[in-house]
Amino acid sequence: MKFRSSIAALTLAVAMTACGESSDAAGIRFYPLKEFTIVSVLDGVNKGTKTTHVRDWGNRYVTIEETTLSMMGVTRSEKKRVIVEGADVTTIDEQAKTVTRSVNPLYDDVVKNLEGKDPEEVGREFMIALGHKPTGREGSFAGETCEVWSNAQFAQELCATDDGLVLNIVSNMMGMRLSETATDVRRGDGGPASAFEVPDYPERTAPNIQDIQKMMKGG
């Protein structure tokens, strides 16, 4: 099974981002595929659609989501794009028409851990380190076969293909069920150039970890 570090990114739902153009030049690859697109349906407390366009062996990607979150009697709709290029993360709120730029604090560690290593081996080791275990079961989504992994700590199961594409994620923590299921997989399609373009909306910069720590200390 050819797992990649980016699988862990989906699992954690935190900034485990891919490397930029300079890393690609150094030979770091997160997938054996240069580009692909996955279209998914989201269900549970957060319903909607998600499209992920990946380019440059996973070094650049964008996620496009249109969702409705329903929790404790409150409903909120969102339409956003998140563009990741190296350590830089750009979040575009299509409803508020704003752009938020941030920096992935784990970027340097990710690059350091991948340098000189086989990304297939690193990805699998990272999955195991996070508490994921292979179940011995297989799943089938969007006409693809995938291997099911489970994580008791996150109350989660995910299903990934031999080339590291995550086709299904299901979690159920504290009674809140979330699922992401692929309905279309397009290898060789990295998405339109427009998906990676940043509109001319008002911009702000999100605080980094150092800024947050300083604010917490009252500095």
Give the position of tokens 């862990």: 8
The CATH number fitting domain 5-132+175-216, selected from 3.30.1330, 2.50.20, 1.10.287, 1.10.10: 2.50.20
- Are 66 and 57 contacting, i.e. CB atoms less than 8 angstroms apart? no
Smallest Cα–Cα separation from 51: which of 59, 43, 42?
A: 42
> What's the CA gap between 78 and 106, in Å, rounded?
26
In this predicted model, what pLDDT tens digit does every residue of 45-101 receive, in sequence order?
999 999 999 999 888 999 999 999 988 788 999 999 999 998 889 999 999 999 999
> What number is the average pLDDT over the span 103-129?
73
Give the position of tokens 């009252």: 218
CA distances to 25, 31, 58, 68, 71 from 76, in Å = 41, 34, 31, 6, 9
Q: Give the global pTM.
A: 0.81
pLDDT of residue 86: 80
pLDDT band at residue 6 using 50, 70 and 90 as cut-offs: very low
Amino acid code (one letter) for 30: F
> What's the CA gap between 11 and 209, in Å, rounded?
21
> What's the CA gap between 135 and 125, in Å, rounded?
16
> What's the CA gap between 102 and 52, in Å, rounded?
19
With left for phi above 0 and alpha for psi between -120 and 50, is residue 122 left, alpha or beta? alpha
- Are 31 and 6 contacting, i.e. CB atoms less than 8 angstroms apart? yes
> What's the CA gap between 108 and 26, in Å, rounded?
14
> What number is the average pLDDT over the span 13-31?
46
- Beta bridge partners, 117, equal none
Q: What value does the mean pLDDT of the chain take?
A: 82
**Domain locations along the chain:** 5-132+175-216
